[in-house]
Structure 1
């Protein structure tokens, strides 16, 4: 295990307060948001570079996993989120709308990196990204109409652009890179390149998190009371869906790798996309926008804790195979 692997949890966790600290500098706050996408892009390029194409072909044959993911994300999760909103946010219908918007949209980018951290099935996770994206674009207005009595529209052009930039382009460039590297006869050089991008994953994720928090630093520190209100329902969501994913994985006899992928696929959320939707659908409701911005304050520490738990589960399975 490299030093980066050993301290990756600490590195990523420290990225949050450092981002908030740097965000207090006006010029840093003004330009930090411009670096989030490039860091994520290179990070995903490195993730795709280290995955053989045969793993993708194998992952696409796992129909049961895809169906399970869709049912949890788009049938079970909206009901759970509505119930949690009613229980803990009943005094603020606006916060309920923001909570529902946020929690019914699965993450479509950097949760792949967390999947890699826990040694999950990254190719399998990657195959459900387009499915998750299409379903959340189509169903988000439906959920708002049913659960919040409101309807919103999604800018399809922006969604397609984000998919091309954050998924199709890094994937394509990674395949081109592998093709060119395979042309060389220097195996040591090829392995060195793969190893370098593999090692950079933690650093790039930490840099993206720093940039995200720096860009919203002042707003976040001024609105910590909203974090406190959202803490209980969001944490309960993580706990319930974590237990559910583990039970489903055990019931279907999934491997540790597939169960870890299912867990992270059904927990991580797509706050950047929902923020864009909220700005269009509710332009005069800054509280809804704020929920999308501060959600990473809760999600990232929770994700790091989940990473630790899953790695502990993996270690126990290796030590006590059945």
Structure 2
């Protein structure tokens, strides 16, 4: 998972997607042909999780919120879309396609309910969207999805019988609140000590390291749980279809909201990307600690990531084509007859 800072660094989406595929293949092969080594890797995910969590929170910027106070209307629109409408759509899609596979359905619901807090900004910038306003959504999206995580699980997946709200609260405290405080403290301390320019270099290093840490985590998941995952391999075609249908419906949603609310093109792009992109890496970390020993749930989250990058790339092309049509129409109106 990559973060775009105020200087506009782009996320390496293609690199992350390729690393995920390679990690799945290597992890599955290790787990299948060298099960002892695979289990050894699978039993040592805690350090990888903490590293990933630290990198995610280290790159969060809170200072941009005050600068975007004039865009309160858009922020409210994005919150309603991401945390009310989109989870309902996601639950409907997951129920339609995966109701007979409850663990995979739980993984899909978790994937669908969590808006991205990072790489959507890279695609927003590439599409000519409002990146500065998008940065203001990062801490909002992250805080709300962590707070709502146990609520969504209780509402949408009560039949699993695996969710203990008290356990989730304790997990969020020890695995996310405390690491977040430590990472954000380090963030501001290094910014103060190093200065803006040298600190930006630190963020660049963190950005480049993050996809490799995610890939290592995915490799460990598949290495330690390949038997359970392969036992359900024939269901993954339906899972991928579910993700595709979800992306189609959320694109329609973003277009309807943008037209009804008369959003300008930069905000239109931002809304489309924040609705489309999901926060699978963070939710993978939360779920592995809150719901341990559920490889099918984890696999559903990883599979969602594989479809997400091609989808965001296609959205970028569609939005740029829309911008060109709008520009051509404006030029035709302004030109003398």
TM-score norm. by structure 1 comes to: 0.73
8 Å contact from structure 2 (residues 111, 301) kept in 1: no
CA drift at 1:258:
7.0
Q: CA deviation at 1:114?
A: 0.8
What are the within-5 Å matches in structure 2 for residues 1-322 of structure 1?
8-23=12-27, 24=30, 26=37, 27-31=40-44, 34-42=47-55, 44-45=57-58, 47-48=59-60, 51=61, 53=63, 55-59=64-68, 62-90=71-99, 92=100, 94-95=102-103, 98-99=106-107, 101-103=109-111, 105-106=113-114, 111-118=116-123, 119=125, 120=131, 121-145=134-158, 148=159, 152-154=163-165, 155-165=168-178, 167-182=180-195, 190-198=196-204, 200-201=206-207, 203-218=208-223, 219-220=225-226, 222=230, 223-252=232-261, 253=263, 256=266, 259-260=269-270, 263-264=273-274, 267-268=277-278, 269=280, 270-279=283-292, 289-312=294-317
Instruction: Provide the rounded CA distance (Å) in 2 between the counterparts of 1:78 and 1:318.
Output: 29
Contact 1:112 1:126 survives alignment (8 Å) = yes
Is the contact between residue 231 and residue 298 of structure 1 (CA under 8 Å) also seen in structure 2? yes
For residues 55-82 of structure 1, the C-alpha deviation after alignment (integer angstroms, 9 at most, x for no partner) is 2212466443443344334432343234
| Number of residue pairs aligned between Structure 1 and Structure 2 | 292
CA distance in 1, matches of 2:243, 2:153: 18
Query: For 1:87 and 1:236, how far apart are their aligned partners in 2?
Result: 11
Q: What residue ranges of structure 2 are gaps of 5+ in the alignment?
A: 1-8, 126-130, 331-337
Q: Aligned partners of 2:79, 2:10: CA distance in 1, in Å?
A: 34
CA deviations 1:92-149 (Å, max 9, x no partner) are 1635752564245415xxx33313322342232222321232233334313334xx59
Q: Is the 8 A contact 1:238 1:267 kept in 2?
A: no
TM (normalized to structure 2)?
0.70
Cα deviation for residue 232 of structure 1 reads 1.2
In 2, the alpha carbon distance for the partners of 1:177 and 1:257 equals: 32
1:163–1:6 CA distance, 2 compared to 1 (3 A): closer
Distance 1:42 1:242, change over 3 A: same
Residue 249 of structure 1 deviates from its aligned partner by 3.6
State which drifts further: 308-317 or 128-137.
308-317
Relative to structure 1, is the Cα distance of residues 113 and 17 closer, same or farther in structure 2, using a 3 angstrom cutoff? Answer: same
Unaligned 5+ segments in structure 1 are 183-189, 280-285
Report SS of the residue matched to 1:216: helix
Give the Cα–Cα distance (whole angstroms) in 2 for the partners of residues 93 and 226 of structure 1. Answer: 8
